[in-house]
Amino acid sequence: MKREKDVTGAAGSDDGREAPGGASRPSGSARAARAPKSEQTRTLILETALRLFQERGYDRTTMRAIAKEAGVSVGNAYYYFSSKEHLVQGFYDRIAAEHREAVRPVLDRETGLEARMAGVLRVWLDVAGPYHEFAAQFFKNAADPESPLSPFSPESEHAREAAISVHREVLAGSRSKVADELVDILPELMWLSQMGLVLYWVFDRSQDSERSRRLADRGARLTTRGVALSRFRPLRPLVREVHELFTDFLPGMAEAAVTRRVRGGGRQGDGREDADVPEDLDGDGGRPQAPRPAG
């Protein structure tokens, strides 16, 4: 017997729970009711697909099965999503949009880079939590850099850029000083560190992903110190080389780097930054940091 199901589905549905940061998040059905019919249909297909991916596995779920469960024609399903891969891209876009909305209280409240970075990573874990089992289902597909499901693929550019833009805001709104030539590079490296956290989280079976949360805090601390050290001019070529290593070998990032160079978006230092090693290795303008939790 087919289960009766809300439009939002079971896997990763928004059920009116409290959003990270304390704000009440509207339910998926409430959002769908306010959207045009075409958007409601698109949401229905996506939610149904996410539920079936979790229940049956990504490889064993067909577009025909998704259409049947959603109560739409196969042609209608393909009209909104031309393949299963595009459904996963829809999932990526949803996570990115929910994360950007949920981090607002953190970015409005915190000015220290470590606190901003740790907050953004922890909020991502909160937003992604309902999708944990689903993420493990399709990870073997997403782990291939050549797969369209990879977060590094050209197909994932929209979601990737949305996520990197959060890190640009993390850096720009902090008290940390950043060399002009690294302003475009550092947010991408910060996002790559988040991808390392995501990889760990996919296989983290600790209660409420507690180990991933500890990793987020410690990773934010190391990232903040790395940003502070990048103010030291002799270390900047090393930062650029690390960035080039990823852009040369990850297809989507390589294309983005070429596009940025064509647009002239890359910045060069103008010699105004301090050449001395910064005294504040926490990157927060020399102000005292809040006590850090153990571990």
Cβ of 56: how many Cβ atoms within 10 Å? 13
Question: pLDDT above 90 covers what percent of the chain?
Answer: 53
Q: pLDDT higher for 249 or 273?
A: 249
Average pLDDT over residues 248-270: 58
| Residue labelled with tokens 């291939």 | 144
**From the centroid of its chain, how far is CA 243?**
18
Residue whose tokens read 């959207």: 35
Could you tell me which residue, 169 or 25, shows the higher pLDDT?
A: 169
Say what the pLDDT of residue 193 is: 94
- pLDDT category at 224 given cuts 50, 70, 90 is very high
- Using an 8 Å Cβ cutoff, are 102 and 125 in contact? no
* Confidence bin at 288 (pLDDT 50/70/90): very low
pLDDT > 70? residue 2: no
CA distances from 17 to 49, 60, 103 (A): 22, 30, 16
Residue 258 — very low, low, confident or very high, per pLDDT cuts 50/70/90?
low
Q: What's the pTM value of the predicted model, to 2 decimals?
A: 0.74
The SS3 assignment for 50 reads helix
Give the per-residue pLDDT at 248. Answer: 84
- Phi then psi for residue 147, to 5 deg, are -75, 140
pLDDT of residue 264: 54
pLDDT grade for 209, boundaries at 50, 70 and 90: very high
239 or 140: whose pLDDT is higher?
Answer: 239
Segment 209-223 mean pLDDT? 97
pLDDT digits (tens, 9 = 90+) for 160-192: 999 999 999 999 999 999 999 999 999 999 999
User: Residue 259's pLDDT is what?
Assistant: 57
